[in-house]
Amino acid sequence: LSELAEDFGFRPLTAHDGERGIEMARQTRPDAIILDIGLPGIDGWGVLEQIKNDPVTKDIPVHCFSGHDESAKALRMGAIAYYRKPATLDQIKDAFSKIETQRSTGIRRLLVVEDNSVQHSAIHALFEDSQVDVTVCTTGQEALDSLRRETFDCVILDLSLPDMDGFTLLETIHESDDYPNVPVIIYTARDLTREQEARLRKYADRIILKTDQSADRLLSEASLFLHWLESKEPNKQRPVDASVHRDDIFTGCKVLLVDDDMRNIYALSASLEEWGCEVQMANNGQESLAVLDTDPSIDIVLMDIMMPEMDGYEAMKRIRAQERFKKLPILALTAKAMRDDRARCIESGANDYITKPVDTEKLQSLMRVWLRQS
């Protein structure tokens, strides 16, 4: 392994037990760690746990090797890849290639699950100018196998697959401990019933219907998740930042901000005005209806959920009951992060959902997506 690492241009450091490995990781902050699970003293699981729980070492990519098939456990604990011993020369070279790619470019990984060659080629082309590594799987089983072995930052999933439907695949990913948690975007041409949409929203992070205009939104949504991951690493480049911030559509955009907490109103309105938006405010659902009656030219609504007099759920239902506001973008703002709460927001009329405290970069990206659609 050391000789091969040198062939790839690395300077290998070697530790023969877990304690020494942890100590060296803290001292040297290496570009990556290749970790054997069957170590003396602290085994590989203990090493991985300590590395991922230490602020100094938690961001170091770890590639695990073991004689047993425990890839799901390794990925759940934070490993970036898992190889079963005895590993082939090609597998070892693959590990070093991934280390080199991530070190030099900060590339993010996207898994596309789509059996239609025209569609997956089109999706691949969307990201060819971004530093995003796209892996394509054409069956559900291929996708499950890939998710067991490797770490991805986002999944784009079509619902019509040859071996299983996308509903089953999505539920398998999220209900089984064999697979790590990963954002999933549903990208489908199906006309969904309300029951199907509700079923998907329990697990999917976004649902996009395939249309002539949907590619732009798909790029923005996937970039949003990949960019969010990058934003946690301030010292690295943001390769997809330009994709998210490609068009400036905020100048003169009229935003209705509905929240009973004045601290939130002041903080958000300051950001919105900095982007060029014109902000109108309401302190509860009843006031929001009055503002819309007075000024129906509002471009987008940011709706808090828990408010006195009339909560956000009821306000959104009443807004959607008016024909003139059927296509008005509404983003729900709530302190709750449970999937049931998100589903209730969507059922009440929200287009999308963001939790408090609000990540302003994520809010900006979501607003771009929905303003383009309106």
Query: Any idea what the CATH number is for the domain that residue 49 is in?
Result: 3.40.50.2300
Same domain for 265 and 230: no
Same domain for 333 and 252: yes
From 57, 83, 105, the end of a domain falls on: 105
Same domain for 160 and 236: yes
Report pLDDT for 212: 65
Same domain for 44 and 6: yes
Same domain for 235 and 212: yes
**Helices 166-175 and 194-201 sit at what angle, rounded to 10 degrees?**
30
Same domain for 342 and 268: yes
Same domain for 133 and 214: yes
Number of compact structural domains in the chain: 3
Can you give the pTM of this predicted structure? 0.43
From 208, 243, 278, the end of a domain falls on: 243
Provide the residue-wise pLDDT of the chain in tens; the chain has 374 residues: 888 888 877 888 889 899 999 999 988 888 889 999 999 889 999 999 999 888 888 878 888 888 887 877 887 788 878 888 887 888 888 788 777 766 655 567 889 999 988 888 888 887 776 667 889 999 999 999 988 888 788 899 999 899 998 899 998 988 877 777 788 889 888 877 878 887 887 788 778 877 766 776 777 677 666 654 443 443 333 333 333 333 468 889 999 999 988 777 878 888 898 889 999 999 899 999 999 999 999 999 999 998 888 999 999 999 999 999 999 999 999 775 455 667 788 889 998 888 877 888 778 878 888 887 76
Same domain for 144 and 43: no
Domain that holds residue 291: 248-373
d(CA 354, CA 370) in angstroms, rounded, equals 13
